Amino acid sequence: MKFWVAARDQSSAENFRIRNEHLHDVKIVFTDSLFQILDEIIASGEVACFLHDDVTVPHNFEEKISSFLSEAEVSWPSWGIAGNSGVLSLRLGGNQGSFVRFLSDPHGGPNFGGFDLPVQSVDGNTILLNSPKLKALGLSLPNFRGFQLYDLILSIEVLSLGLSVIASPKLAVYHDSKGSQSLFDDSTKSVGFNRYLYGKVKQSVISTLNGDISPGIFEDVQRGDLDLVRASLENASKGRSPKTLAIVTRSMPGRRAVRKRCIDSIDYLVEMGALSSSLAIRHLIYGTEKFEEAYEINSEYRDFRFIAESVPEGADTRSLLLVAAVQDVDADFFWFVDDDDWIFPSNFDLLGQALLCFPSNAVFAANSQHFHESLESSEYGRNEPASTFEARHLANVSAGYNPVPFCSVIYPKDALDDIDLSIGALTRYEDLALLAEALLRRRHPFFTLDRLIACVSVRRDDRSQTVIEPNRDEWNRNLADLTSVWTASDEFGWGRYLTSSLGSEDDDSSERMRALNRHYLSQRDDAIQQLDEIARSVSWRMTRPLRILKPVIRRLRHSRRS
Amino acid sequence: MIDQSDGVGAQAVQIVGDSEFLANGLAHQLRVLSEVTSVNLAVRVLCYDNPRTGEVKTVSESLTVQEVGDGCSPNQGFGHNHNFLFGTWPSSPSVILLNPDCLPVHGSIESLVRKFEEDSTIGIVEARQWPFEHPKHRDPVTGDTSWASGFFCLLSGPMMNAIGGFDPSYNMYLEDVDLSWTAWQSGFRVVYEPLAVGRHFTQSLFPRRDLLNVEQEMSLRNFLSIAYKFFGRQGFMRAYAMAEKQVSSEVLADATEGAKNDVIPYMRVANRRRHPMVGFSDVLIFEGLRK
């Protein structure tokens, strides 16, 4: 395979050859426009790799590329170009932003590893081009010149042809360039470039590795209809193996109204959500006993299973239901939506696409919303929107608290296999235990999406809702057990590592910390009040002379001994 | 051939959607409709990107559906499409408008009809949107409200005939506000019925931050237009000043051009008589438009 190297001068070209002498077929090109080189590579009709002259590749780079190419036939049948860093359509981890880096450069090192990821655009330091396909589909770049924006424009053109743009760790290199922010900024002011963007994409703000670009508005240009976020996911999903998502509803007797509402919302997703045909959805309902509505659920809705026979007395039924569902159901992903939750189906499509093309062992989370309701109003009654839970705080699980409701998270099957939720006698926090297990001990990669996908009902007058029970003893006992497990070994050490990076968040997590502080301050104030009451009491005042004398006597005794 | 029975003995329901909806979502919506009411329904559906007329189909004992579209030019907007559908049964006492992404809950059709029959001066009965209610004022006792959303509502047939239906010049968004204000000015009440509920998982409440939301963009253009239509030059200036605080000058200039060239010249002439229920404090739905 040929490596096309854009060299600024003879000296840079020579240096490139010396640093990368193990590359066999190198073509050095001196040019004043990288657009021109890319057009030439595509015109060649052969798979080729484009490199900057300040790139140093690893010793086995050619093998790595061969490996990518053979795997891509199966994993990425629609790949158009690939690079080593890019802009994701989901957030990487909780708070690491939407950029993935499989390279080192003067800015820093990689921030992820192990998996290829579909991206909206790649950085131009290293680009592998599927030229046979690009040529066959007639890709040609717009008539621009220069050394900026060619990578973004190539990515846009590839996505607009229905092909995918991939970031792969197999293309990892060292790139000895900080880039020039001022040159990039200047180039984004080009009217021709902005007209191109406006006429090509739907976005009013385009994320790039060098910063956001807003193309402005052009009256005489027809606005483009390419949605980079959607296209990056849809195109990458093409030809990949189908996936199954199991939505599991844990239900209790006497909750007919809210259960129906939950089921209705999932029906809406299945029937009207316009999901990819490659994503099959199975909805199952699990209960702990054979309650009277079981027949109704089975006959009117779908699979209902109760696990009464296998529940030992006093056991935590919520964990058992969860474990039973995972053992029963053959699915790639699990989404637990309890009977008093409901989903927001019209926002699910992007996450549904991500399930098809992101790593199959990844944990996914999106936003959720609390609603205050009353028992009387809890079917489709008046409600009051309350807190919003943003999925980007998911990594805060490593700080020891539950950052998002259970129904915000979608787990891969292997995060749940052989799960042991019998810590102590866990009856609360099984969701937090599961999240900590998946992210902190099993270390599954995780991605988040800033879209509302689930809603949670909080009913002040519903005594069956443990989340609002006023006596927190059971919750505290469970948290003590969990904390004991988490701190007993270094298996959860990654959590401590992650916690150190939380300081970069300037958002609701700090609000959470402030709330915690308020809690401690209020405890402190209570204690001070109690002490004041003691100090004012008659007995305390009567014994005051003894307390004054006590240290004097102690000092006297001490001096006698010495 | 369009069914000429005007849905005799049945409540008229109008749905406008695209080909994808007809292929994927309509069957589910009709199934839900047939489950949530005991009222006989005659549903007419207009496919706005491929209008055509089909046979009347029986979905259940109490529900028939017909695709109607012969003579309707491809998509000219929400108001135009619903006016076209209403024109196929002009003597109906009332029609129910249902968005393709809205699913009524049990008893909601009955609640809309019951409210409508309470008072012959009612022109529009608006259902409650769930899970996120429209944040707007309504009288807690009478249900009177300045405007009714078109996502799921009942329109009086006599009112539609009296005021000529929707003003189609808006194309999309705020034509329901226009219809409501015109109804008030023509002596019809617009009321909110919280017992009628539509599940409406609208994405417009959660616009993507990277996209200039089309709903917000057109709402801004139409906000300026409706201000001019009902309140004249002064109204336009006031609306402009309100918008100026929320959006960039570039976006506002674009919306102003759109209002001047694409909407205002084609609007019906409005009655600019003052009415206590006509005012635009509640229609700023373009809030959040990117600066």
User: How far is B104 from chain A, CA to nearest CA, in Å?
Assistant: 10
A264 touches chain B (CB under 8 A): yes
List chain B residues with CB under 8 Å of A455: 131
> Would you call B291 an interface residue with chain A, using a CB distance cutoff of 8 Å?
no
Q: Minimal Cα distance from B103: which residue of A?
A: A268
The answer to whether the CB atoms of B209 and A205 lie below 8 A apart is yes
Please name the residue that has the structure tokens 């006016």. B83
Rounded to a whole number of angstroms, the distance from the CA of B90 to the nearest CA of chain A is 31
Show residues of chain B in contact with A89, CB under 8 Å.
none
Is residue A506 pLDDT above 90, yes or no?
A: no
- Chain A neighbors of B289, CB-CB under 8 A: none
Helix or strand run (H / E) with residue A453: strand A446-459
Mean pLDDT of A94-102: 84
Q: What is the pLDDT of residue A293?
A: 67
**CA separation for the pair A339, A251 (Å, rounded):** 5
Q: Please tell me the predicted confidence (pLDDT) of residue A518.
A: 52
Please state whether beta strands A333-336 and A409-412 pair in parallel, antiparallel, or not at all (unpaired): antiparallel
Range list of H helices, A286-348: 294-300, 317-328
Is B94 within 8 Å of B156 (Cβ atoms)? yes
- Out of A202, A274, A342, the one facing B24 most closely (by C-beta) is A274
- Whether the per-residue pLDDT at A92 is higher than 70: the answer is yes
A379: nearest CA partner in chain B: B105
Name the pairing type of β-strands A341-343 and A446-459.
antiparallel
DSSP letters spanning A67-131: HHHHHHHHH-TTEEEEESEEE-SSEETTTSTTEEE-SBBTTB--S--SS-EE-SEE-TTEEEE-H
Kindly tell me if the per-residue pLDDT of A479 is higher than 70. Answer: yes
Q: Which of B128, B131, B257 is closest, CB to CB, to A219? A: B257
What pLDDT does residue A510 have?
44
The alpha carbon torsion through A378, A384, A390, A391 (nearest 10 deg) reads 10
A502 has pLDDT over 50: no
Contact assignment for B211 to A227 by CB distance below 8 Å: yes
Rounded Cα distance between B75 and B80, Å, is: 8
Q: Does any CB of chain B come closer than 8 Å to the CB of residue A540?
A: no
Question: Mutate which of A272, A275, A341 to test chain B, going by most B C-beta atoms within 10 A?
Answer: A272
Give chain A positions within 8 Å (CB) of B211. 202-204, 227
What is the least distance, in Å, from the CA of A300 to any CA of chain B?
Answer: 12
pLDDT (tens digit, 9 = 90+) per residue, A402-421?
Answer: 888 999 999 999 999 888 77
Q: Which region among A157-166, A497-506, A520-529, B166-175 has the lowest average model confidence (pLDDT)?
A: A497-506
User: What's the rounded mean pLDDT across residues A206-231?
Assistant: 90
- In this prediction, residue A273 carries a pLDDT of 72
Measured between beta carbons, which residues in chain B are less than 8 angstroms from residue A207? 210
- Is residue A287's pLDDT more than 90? no
Which band of pLDDT confidence, cut at 50, 70 and 90, is reported for residue A308? low
Residue A49 pLDDT: 98
C-alpha distance from A203 to closest chain B C-alpha (Å):
5
From chain A residues 109-168, the ones with a CB under 8 A of any chain B CB are none
Q: Which two tokens stand for residue B252?
A: 């506002």
Query: Is the CB of B101 less than 8 angstroms away from the CB of A272?
Result: yes
Q: By the CB < 8 Å criterion, does B197 face chain A?
A: yes
User: Which residues in chain A are closer than 8 Å to B212, comparing Cβ atoms?
Assistant: 204
User: What is the average pLDDT value for chain A, to the nearest integer?
Assistant: 86
Q: Do B28 and A267 touch (CB under 8 A)?
A: yes
- How many CB pairs below 8 A link A and B? 70
Task: Please report residues of B whose CB lies closer than 8 A to that of A372.
Answer: none
Any chain B CB within 8 A of the CB of A268? yes
**Optimal mutation site among A262, A347, A380, A390, interface B, most CBs of chain B within 10 A:** A380
Distance CA A263, CA A342 (A): 8
| Residue B255 touches partner A, C-beta closer than 8 Å | no
CA B290 to chain centre: 25
Whether A216 and chain B come into contact, CB under 8 Å, resolves to: yes
Query: Cβ distance A212 to A236 under 8 Å?
Result: no
Asked if residue A300 has pLDDT above 70, the reply is no
Q: Is residue A267 within 8 angstroms of chain B, CB to CB?
A: yes
Write the pLDDT tens digit of every residue in A242-283.
Answer: 999 999 999 887 788 888 899 999 999 988 777 888 999 998
Instruction: Please tell me if residue B146 touches chain A, with a CB cutoff of 8 Å.
Output: no
DSSP characters over A100-114: EE-SBBTTB--S--S
Supply the pLDDT for residue A507: 44
CB contact under 8 A, A380 and B208: no
Give the mean model confidence (pLDDT) for residues A341-354.
Answer: 94
Ramachandran region, residue A443 (left: φ > 0; alpha: ψ -120 to 50; beta: rest): left
Question: In this predicted structure, what is the pLDDT of residue A512?
Answer: 47
List chain A residues with CB under 8 Å of B24. 271-272, 274
Q: Let me know: does B127 contact B197? Beta carbons within 8 Å.
A: yes
pLDDT at B229: 94
| Residue A321: band (very low, low, confident or very high) from pLDDT cuts 50, 70, 90 | confident
> pLDDT digit string (tens) for A197-213?
999 999 989 999 888 99
- Which residue in chain A is spatially nearest to B205 when comparing CA positions? A452
A220 at interface of B, judged by CB pairs closer than 8 A: no
pLDDT range class, residue A524, cuts 50, 70, 90: low
One-letter amino acid identity for A516?
L
Q: Which of B106, B210, B291 to mutate to test the interface with A (most CBs of A within 10 A)?
A: B210
The full 3-state SS of chain B, as one line of letters, equals CCCCCCCCCCEEEEEEECHHHHHHCHHHHHHHHHHHCCCCEEEEEEECCCCCCCCEEEEECCEEEEECCCCCCCCCCHHHHHHHHHHCCCCCCEEEEECCCEEECCCHHHHHHHHHHHCCCEEEEEEEEECCCCCCCECCCCCEECCCCCCEEEEEHHHHHHHCCCCHHHCCCCHHHHHHHHHHHCCCEEEEEEEEEEEECCHHHCCCCCECCHHHHHHHHHHHHHHHHHHHHHHHHHHHHHHHCCCCHHHHHHHHHHHHHHHHHHCCCCCCCCCCCCCCCCCCCCCCCCC
Tell me if chain B has a CB within 8 Å of the CB of A504: no
How distant is the Cα of A399 from the closest Cα of chain B, in angstroms?
29
Contacts of A218 in chain B (CB under 8 A): none
Who contacts B145 (Cβ-Cβ below 8 Å, separation ≥6)? B126, B136, B137, B138, B139, B180, B190, B191, B192, B277
pLDDT at A311 over 90: no
pLDDT in tens, chain B (291 residues): 666 666 568 999 999 999 989 998 999 999 999 999 999 999 999 999 999 999 999 999 999 999 999 989 888 999 999 999 999 999 999 999 999 999 999 999 999 999 999 999 999 999 999 999 887 889 999 999 999 999 999 999 999 999 999 999 999 889 999 999 999 999 999 999 999 999 998 877 777 888 877 777 888 999 999 999 999 998 899 889 888 888 888 888 989 999 999 999 999 988 888 899 998 765 554 444 433
A3-22 per-position pLDDT tens digit: 999 999 999 999 999 999 99
- A287-316 residues touching B, CB cutoff 8 A: none
Q: What is the pLDDT of residue A503?
A: 35
Distance CA A411, CA A314 (A): 27
Question: Is A380 in the B-facing interface, judged by CB distances under 8 Å?
Answer: yes
Helix (H) or strand (E) holding A287: strand A279-287
Q: Does the CB of B214 have a partner CB in chain A at under 8 Å? A: no
Model confidence at A497: pLDDT above 60: no
Share of chain A above pLDDT 90, in %: 51
Residue B84 neighbours by CB under 8 Å, 6+ apart? B46, B71, B72
Task: Please check whether residue A379 touches B, CB under 8 A.
Answer: yes
Give the model's confidence band at A376: pLDDT under 50 very low, under 70 low, under 90 confident, else very high: confident
**For residue A499, is pLDDT > 50?**
no
HSE-CB for A437 with a 13 A CA cutoff: 20
Check residue B26 and give its pLDDT. Answer: 94
Q: Tell if the CB–CB gap between A264 and B29 is shorter than 8 Å.
A: no
Give the angle A249-A253-A259 at the CA atoms, nearest 5°: 40
Half-sphere exposure of A163 toward its Cβ, with a 13 Å CA cutoff?
A: 25
- Who has greater pLDDT, A312 or A107? A107
B105:A380 CB<8 A? yes
ipTM of the complex: 0.87
CB atoms A268 and B201 under 8 Å: yes
